[in-house]
Amino acid sequence: QKEVEQDPGPLSVPEGAIVSLNCTYSNSAFQYFMWYRQYSRKGPELLMYTYSSGNKEDGRFTAQVDKSSKYISLFIRDSQPSDSATYLCAMNKNTDKLIFGTGTRLQVFP
C-alpha cells in the first residue's frame, strides 16, 4: 500500500464548476500537508500549505485536512480553463522529505 493515494484522473469539468481533489494517506505521523499545481513541462508550484487539521482558504482555493480520517482535500471554486493542470498533494512529518501523491490531472473546458 502506498503511503499517499491520489486518483490520477483525468478529471474533466466545465468552466465555473466546483472541483474537489482528494488524497488519502496511511501514516498518522504526517503533520504538514501541501497542494502543488504543475503545468505541463513545468516545475510544481506551491498552492496551499496546511499544518495539522483544519481548513485554509486562499481566493478560490480551499484546503481541508481531516487527520482522524487521514484525508485531505483541495476545493477550487469557479474553476477556469487556466486551472487545467496536474494537482499533486504532498505531506511530511518533522523532516524535509516530502511524500507525494501521483497527481490528479484536471481539465476545465470553456
Partner 1 sequence: GAVVSQHPSWVICKSGTSVKIECRSLDFQATTMFWYRQFPKQSLMLMATSNEGSKATYEQGVEKDKFLINHASLTLSTLTVTSAHPEDSSFYICSTSNRAKGYDTQYFGPGTRLTVL
Q: Which residues bind partner 1 (CB under 8 A)?
A: 32, 34, 36, 41-46, 49, 51, 88, 90, 92, 94-98, 100-103
User: Do residues 21 and 37 touch, judged by C-beta distance below 8 A?
Assistant: no
Quote the CA–CA distance of 106 and 21 in Å, as a whole number.
9
Q: Based on CB atoms, which residue is closest to partner 1, 17 or 38? A: 38
Q: Based on CB atoms, which residue is closest to partner 1, 8 or 16? A: 8
Q: Whole-number minimum distance, CB 75 to partner 1, in Å?
A: 20
Q: Whole-number minimum distance, CB 18 to partner 1, in Å?
A: 25
Q: Based on CB atoms, which residue is closest to partner 1, 75 or 100? A: 100
Question: Pairing mode, if any, of strands 19-25 and 4-6?
Answer: antiparallel
Q: Based on CB atoms, which residue is closest to partner 1, 17 or 102? A: 102
Radius of gyration over every alpha carbon of the chain, rounded to an integer in angstroms: 13
According to DSSP, residue 26 is labeled: S
Q: Whole-number minimum distance, CB 57 to partner 1, in Å?
A: 18
Residue 77 dihedral angles phi and psi, to the nearest 5°: -90, 155
